[in-house]
Structure 1
Amino acid sequence: MAPSVNPGRVRWVDRPIRPISLRQLFFFGRTLDESRLLSSANYVRVELPTRLAHRLREMQRLPYVVVTNPHLSLVYELYYKSFEIFRRIPAIRNLEENDEFCKVISDSLKEHLAVIPNLVMGVLECQDLVSPDKMDNFVQAMLRARISRRVIAEQHLALTETFNSPWHVPQPSSEDEFVGEVLLRCNAKEVVERVGRFTQDICRSSGGVDPIVPEIRIQGHVNATFPYVLSHLEYVVGELLRNSVQAVMGRYKDTKKPPPPIDVLICEAPQHVVIRISDQGGGIPRDIMPFLWSFCKGPRRASRLQNFKDVPTLAATMQEVRHASHAKPSAKIRDSSLSSLASRPPDLRLGMGLPMSRVYAEYWAGGLDLHSLEGYGVDAFLQISKLGNQNEKLTSRASIDAV
């Protein structure tokens, strides 16, 4: 176990976290010049060790027997190492120093791809030592904090990449472009179509001889757009579609008739967009339903833990075996833990897709709910904020990381 954050570093824990919204990311990066890029670098330079210090302190408050779990201890070591690196970086004054800083960020992001599988394995192994509700709250807080760190880190890397590109202009020529990691006009229908094809291909590849994959039908407000981090939306939509496609294929695998389609309805309102995904896959078993949003509770805990342990490598991917033959669903090519998670084999069931999807959906002031009719199917409702009056909710949620 690494040493605790000593009194000389308490100032990092005492510093308030400065949350940031999609709107701020969006407007700050649209007119990108050297001054703004360096300002972004110094914001990240201070914010990362601050947020890491809060997570280290939170882990130190766990019972000692929990923190000494080898998986959770590895997470602590990774966080402490990054904290020590980032807290020593001086103010960034020029583009050369920013390039060096970006290399440090990239190395840290790659190293931390091992965090989520080890975090979940540690929590599953410690279920009998701490109440499941407390461990669920701990995992959710850790994931929210992890999203917040990766968002600001990956956004700065993307801004630097944009600034250094030969075709960079201070402002995007159209709202169909990216500002860093934020897609200014994210079209819900296009995302569902692209991720749907990707999901169908993955499920078809492991569905046996000549599998029949259900059609995905889209209707409603098909022109609805909103600014969003595309990789986040693709991940959540992908998890929901994957669940529906696998459920329908499993239920109708012994029939020669085409399975019923998966219906996606897009509804646009002044403040939000709702994506409803409906299937006829038989619904969720009654014994699973109470534990749907839990990371560590439920009757399938042992099999989930074994699946995690069967993954051949944790350092290179988030928690799954990646099929190199499958392209990433996103049109924006950037390696990330989410893109590799989306490419995991269908038979590698880890039981964390829904709770993790809810964390991602809620992070940007949205929501995720499911309604199951046992014996028939499931309706999943993904609500996405259009950033109007939801900005305060974004700030409120981000502030949770400071607790």
Structure 2
Amino acid sequence: MQTLPYVVVTNPHISQVYELYYKAFESLRRVQEVKTLKDNEKLCEKISQTLQEHLTVIPKLAMGVLECRDLMNPEDMDKFMNTILRSRISRRVIAEQHLSLTETFNSPWHFPDSTTPETEFVGEVFLKCNAKEVVERCGEAVKALARAAYGPEALLPDIKLEGHLEATFPYILSHLEYIIGELLRNSIQAVVEKNGKKSSASKKPPPIEITICEAPQHVIIRVSDQGGGIPRDILPYLWAFSKGPRSNQRLENLHQVPKMAATSQEVRVDEIAPEPLGSPRTHLHSDSSLTSLSSRPPNLRLGMGLPLSRVYAEYWAGTLELHSLEGYGVDAFLQISKLGNKNEQLTTRASMDAV
């Protein structure tokens, strides 16, 4: 952040993010070496407090880059956002993994037998993540949110699953839930708005088709909808954080979003918020972990879902690509590298200095 132009760093939102990171560094560097369980408890308290304080970082960064979009080259701004978000993910993964492993150590099932469900977890890593189950859970959560936003009589598309439905792989579950949730949110919203929101519409909208393909090194999830595709004026800015024809509306909407966690957004819009997305295990520190889909209304466009999802996919050596047929629909391809085959895509100091 210190390499940004001075006029950008003095933006109130970006300045607040800088102060948060500076405070966190000053706080954590004063933590004494952990030698006892009591020392570890103090460290965990400090980590949990810091995670909570930093839930405001993503919306503040997003508002800052939108307000500074004319003060810096858009490509440089997007590179800065990708760099800082990837770095943020790596820190939160380490922090939450430590909290989760500590929780496991202190729990009654610290030495479980082979039938205990918790043996499927190593900290935050779910060893038997099943794409079919994640899609079904995310689909129900997103549908509940759409019904709350569009009304109980809204005609929602079915979600059809096919392919390798039994495929499992180790992954951090909440990262996958966020990406799948955002893709399904976009598809359901597009289909509903293209085909009409009420039961008086002529017929049930076409389904969203999910195909799961397992290969030895990776799993591919295709999300295919018939929601009319991406408008031509939006397409060039699909992965951009700072530019686009709807920048002013996105900035206005972001003011309504106080917090986002590192991947799963912890947004609360009380009048329509559904129950948090379920997962095989709920942690004691769930407020700071990445366990729930964003519960903002579908029509509150932030312009963050796709670029954030791509950052999270690429962090674990995966990819996210979209192919749009204007007037027909969109195919999204999420490739997930099975953990253990590749390292995280960490940001090197050299690439950070090059921003």
Q: Decide whether the 8 Å contact of 2:66 with 2:242 is kept in 1.
A: yes
Correspondence 1:265 to 2:207:
no
Whole-Å separation in 2 of the counterparts to 1:186 and 1:134: 36
1:78 pairs with one of 20, 32, 52: 20
Q: CA deviation at 1:400?
A: 3.3
Q: Decide whether the 8 Å contact of 1:145 with 1:401 is kept in 2.
A: no
Q: Which has the higher helix share?
A: 1
Whole-Å separation in 1 of the counterparts to 2:349 and 2:309: 18
Q: CA deviation at 1:325?
A: 4.9
Aligned letter for 1:398? L
Greater mean alpha carbon deviation, residues 224-233 or residues 208-217: 208-217
CA 1:171/1:294 → structure 2, altered by over 3 Å: closer, same or farther? Answer: farther
Query: What does residue 38 of structure 1 align with?
Result: none
Aligned letter for 1:327? E
Q: Secondary structure at the match of 1:294?
A: coil
Whole-Å separation in 2 of the counterparts to 1:339 and 1:158: 13
Q: CA deviation at 1:308?
A: 1.1
Q: CA deviation at 1:315?
A: 8.8
Query: What does residue 276 of structure 2 align with?
Result: 328
Aligned letter for 1:278? S
Q: CA deviation at 1:386?
A: 1.3
Q: Percent identity?
A: 61
1:359 pairs with one of 311, 315, 321: 311
Whole-Å separation in 2 of the counterparts to 1:293 and 1:217: 27
Describe how 1:173-212 pairs up with structure 2 within 5 A. Answer: 177-208=120-151, 210-212=153-155
Q: Decide whether the 8 Å contact of 2:174 with 2:292 is kept in 1.
A: no
Query: What does residue 281 of structure 1 align with?
Result: 227
Q: Decide whether the 8 Å contact of 2:59 with 2:260 is kept in 1.
A: no
Q: Secondary structure at the match of 1:310?
A: coil
1:223 pairs with one of 166, 178, 185: 166
Whole-Å separation in 2 of the counterparts to 1:241 and 1:338: 18
Q: Secondary structure at the match of 1:383?
A: strand
Whole-Å separation in 2 of the counterparts to 1:200 and 1:91: 48
Q: CA deviation at 1:256?
A: 2.9
Query: What does residue 153 of structure 1 align with?
Result: 95
Whole-Å separation in 2 of the counterparts to 1:194 and 1:166: 28
Q: Secondary structure at the match of 2:150?
A: coil
CA 1:322/1:401 → structure 2, altered by over 3 Å: closer, same or farther? Answer: farther
Unmatched segments (≥5 aa) in structure 2 = none
Whole-Å separation in 2 of the counterparts to 1:284 and 1:249: 14
Q: Decide whether the 8 Å contact of 1:144 with 1:359 is kept in 2.
A: yes
Query: What does residue 56 of structure 1 align with?
Result: none
Whole-Å separation in 1 of the counterparts to 2:216 and 2:32: 44
- TM-score, structure 2 length as denominator? 0.91
Query: What does residue 116 of structure 1 align with?
Result: 58
Q: Decide whether the 8 Å contact of 1:117 with 1:318 is kept in 2.
A: no
Describe how 1:45-64 pairs up with structure 2 within 5 A. Answer: 59-64=1-6
Correspondence 1:127 to 2:79:
no
- TM-score, structure 1 length as denominator? 0.80
Whole-Å separation in 2 of the counterparts to 1:130 and 1:112: 25
Q: Decide whether the 8 Å contact of 1:286 with 1:374 is kept in 2.
A: yes
1:103-154 superposed Cα distances (whole Å, 9 cap, x missing partner): 0000000000010010110011011111011010001111001100000000
Q: CA deviation at 1:89?
A: 1.2
Q: Secondary structure at the match of 2:333?
A: strand
CA 1:319/1:72 → structure 2, altered by over 3 Å: closer, same or farther? Answer: farther
Q: CA deviation at 1:314?
A: 4.2
1:239 pairs with one of 182, 188, 206: 182
